[in-house]
C-alpha cells in the first residue's frame, strides 16, 4: 500500500486543484489501438422480453457496456429512454426505495429489471446481491446451467469454455484477478466517502464516492494523486487515472472502471473533499490496491 502524502501538503493541493476542477477535469489515458463497434450498431439487437432487457448476443452486451462506460448518468438514461428501456430502470428504482442494492452504478442497475434479471444470448442471469451469487439458466433448453459466485469469470465460462457441459468446468484461477474490495471509513464530520471494486460475475465497476448529509449546496469532489493511480485487466494496457472531478450537491460518485472484464490489478490513491458555503474545507484520504 502506498503511503498517503502529508495532510498539510494535500490541503494546499486541494485548495488549488478543486477551485479549478471544472477546468482540469478527470482523465483516463488508454491505448489507441482499441476499436469497438458503435453503440448505434447494436441497439437494434437489444429488446425487452417478458420484462427483462435482452441482448441477442455476448458481443451486443459487451459493446453496449463498453460504449456506455464513459457516459454520464444522464446520457445513459437518455439512451434507455430513447429505446424504451427506461421502464425497466424505473421498476428498479421502485424496488430500490425499499431494498437498495449495495452498489451505485446507473449503467449496471439500468440493465437489471426489478428482479435483478438480464438476458444475454440464450441465457437468463439472475443476481442475488445479498448472497453475492448469480444463477444462470439456458432459456432455450430450460435448464439451470450453474450457480456462480460474483468473483467467478461467468461470461468466459458460459460463452467460451468448451467444458461447460461437464459438471466440473475449468476456468482461470480467481487469484489472478482482483476480487471484491472496499474501503469505507467512518463518517468524519460532515463527510462520508469510499472506494470500491465491485465484481458481479457479468459486470465490474471500480468507483470512488463522497457524500455529506448537511446541505445540498456544498462543493464536493474526488482527487487522484498524480502519476500513481491506475487499473489494468488481462487484455488491455494499463489505464492511468489522474486529475479531479466534482460538483455542488450532497453526493458525488465517480466511476473509474466499468466493463465486463475483470481487473487484474489497480492502485487508487485518492483524496475526498467538501467545501461549505463559508469556504471551510475538509479533506480525507484513502488508498486501495490489488494485488
Q: pLDDT for 78-99, tens place per residue?
A: 777 766 665 555 555 554 443 4
Provide the pLDDT for residue 84.
60
DSSP conformational letter for 191: B
CA–CA distances in Å: residue 45 to residues 69, 87, 88: 18, 18, 17
Q: Could you tell me if residue 55 is inside a domain?
A: yes
Domain end residue (candidates: 174, 203, 220): 174
pTM: 0.79
Whether residues 43 and 167 fall in one domain: yes
CA–CA distances in Å: residue 132 to residues 28, 102, 152, 264: 29, 10, 11, 20
Provide the pLDDT for residue 166.
40
Q: Is the pLDDT of residue 71 over 60?
A: yes
Nearest to 57 by CA among 49, 46, 41: 46
Task: Cite the DSSP H helix spans in the chain.
Answer: 7-17, 21-24, 58-68, 73-82, 86-96, 106-111, 154-160
In this structure, what CATH number is given to the domain that contains residue 250?
2.60.40
Contact 277, 217 (CB under 8 A): yes
Whether residues 169 and 221 fall in one domain: no
For residue 268, give the H/E element and its range. Answer: strand 263-275
Whether residues 202 and 277 fall in one domain: yes
Q: Is the pLDDT of residue 162 over 50?
A: no
Domain end residue (candidates: 141, 157, 174): 174
CA–CA distances in Å: residue 226 to residues 17, 93, 109, 223, 232: 12, 37, 31, 9, 17
Cell numbers describing residue 186: 467512518
Whole-number average pLDDT of the chain: 76
Contact 174, 150 (CB under 8 A): no
Contact 231, 8 (CB under 8 A): no
pLDDT band at 62 (very low <50, low <70, confident <90, very high): very high
Whether residues 121 and 207 fall in one domain: no
Q: How many CB atoms lie within 10 A of CB 291?
A: 9
Contact 204, 262 (CB under 8 A): yes
**Cα(5)–Cα(186) distance, integer angstroms:** 20
Domain end residue (candidates: 145, 174, 203): 174
pLDDT band at 139 (very low <50, low <70, confident <90, very high): confident
Nearest to 200 by CA among 113, 115, 127, 267: 127
Q: Is the pLDDT of residue 143 over 90?
A: no
Domain of residue 190 covers 7-33+180-290
- What is the arithmetic mean of pLDDT over 248-270? 89
CA–CA distances in Å: residue 256 to residues 6, 16, 60, 192: 24, 23, 22, 19
Q: Is the pLDDT of residue 234 over 80?
A: yes
Strand partners, 217: none
Amino acid at each position: 500500500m502506498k503511503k498517503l502524502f502529508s495532510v498539510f501538503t494535500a490541503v494546499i493541493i486541494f485548495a488549488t486543484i478543486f477551485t479549478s476542477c471544472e477546468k482540469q477535469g478527470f482523465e483516463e489515458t488508454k491505448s489507441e489501438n482499441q476499436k469497438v463497434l458503435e453503440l448505434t450498431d447494436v441497439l437494434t439487437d437489444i429488446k425487452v422480453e417478458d420484462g427483462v432487457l435482452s441482448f441477442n448476443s455476448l458481443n451486443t452486451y459487451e459493446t453496449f457496456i463498453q460504449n456506455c462506460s464513459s457516459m454520464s448518468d444522464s446520457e445513459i438514461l437518455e439512451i434507455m429512454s430513447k429505446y424504451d428501456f427506461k421502464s425497466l430502470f424505473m421498476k428498479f428504482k421502485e424496488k430500490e426505495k425499499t431494498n437498495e442494492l449495495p452498489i451505485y452504478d446507473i449503467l449496471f442497475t439500468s440493465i437489471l429489471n426489478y428482479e435483478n434479471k438480464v438476458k444475454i444470448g440464450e441465457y437468463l442471469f439472475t443476481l442475488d446481491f445479498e448472497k453475492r451469487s448469480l444463477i444462470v439458466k439456458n432459456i432455450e433448453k430450460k435448464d439451470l446451467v450453474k450457480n456462480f459466485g460474483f468473483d467467478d469469470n461467468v461470461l468466459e465460462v458460459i460463452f467460451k469454455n468448451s467444458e461447460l457441459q461437464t459438471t466440473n468446468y475449468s476456468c482461470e484461477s480467481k487469484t489472478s484477478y482482483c476480487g471484491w474490495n472496499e474501503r469505507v471509513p467512518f463518517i468524519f464530520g460532515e463527510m462520508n466517502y469510499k472506494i470500491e471494486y465491485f465484481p458481479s460475475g457479468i459486470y465490474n465497476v471500480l468507483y470512488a464516492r463522497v457524500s455529506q448529509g448537511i446541505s445540498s449546496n456544498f462543493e464536493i469532489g474526488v482527487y487522484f494523486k498524480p502519476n500513481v493511480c491506475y487499473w489494468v485487466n488481462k487484455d488491455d494496457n494499463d489505464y492511468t487515472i489522474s486529475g479531479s472531478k466534482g460538483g455542488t450537491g450532497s453526493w458525488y460518485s465517480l466511476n473509474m472502471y466499468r466493463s465486463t472484464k475483470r481487473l487484474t490489478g489497480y492502485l487508487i490513491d485518492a483524496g475526498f473533499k467538501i467545501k461549505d458555503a463559508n469556504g471551510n474545507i475538509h479533506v480525507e484520504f484513502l488508498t486501495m490496491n490489488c494485488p
